[in-house]
Amino acid sequence: MSGLVGGFMQQVGCIMFMATAPVLWYQSLLITDVMDIVAVDPGYLCMTLGMLITAEAFLYLQLPIDIIPDFIPVLGKCDDALAYIAAAAGGLLTVAGASSWIASDDGPSLDLHMAE
């Protein structure tokens, strides 16, 4: 019985993280002195958004609940395939953003000046 409750709580935790992570990511961008999303380096945005998409996709794959149930013959596996595609795209976005962020003139830092 305790294993059943522990598994259920783990699933609830995954769903709660999936629901709140995008909001927390956006709010973390507003912590800078300049309350403007344009002021943050685009490479940093790309990298963190890629990590968020990858984490969300892998968490979706861990959940036993699917958007399209697996017992539907062909469509049942489509949502899992889309989650794998989203995870791969998020990984590529992370790598592209990190390389852009590191290759910037002043290195990995947040640009806190208003865009003119």
Structural domain boundaries enclosing 32: 2-102
- The answer to whether residue 87 scores a pLDDT higher than 90 is yes
- Percentages helix, strand, coil for the chain, rounded to the nearest 5? 70, 0, 30
The verdict on residue 112 lying in a domain is: no
Q: What is the pLDDT of residues 56-81, one digit of tens each?
A: 899 888 888 888 888 888 888 888 89
Contact 98, 43 (CB under 8 A): yes
In a domain, 109, yes or no: no
Q: Looking at the domain assignment, is residue 46 inside a domain? A: yes
**Cβ(83)–Cβ(61) below 8 Å:** yes
The model's confidence at residue 82, banded by pLDDT at 50, 70 and 90, is: very high
Domain count, the chain: 1
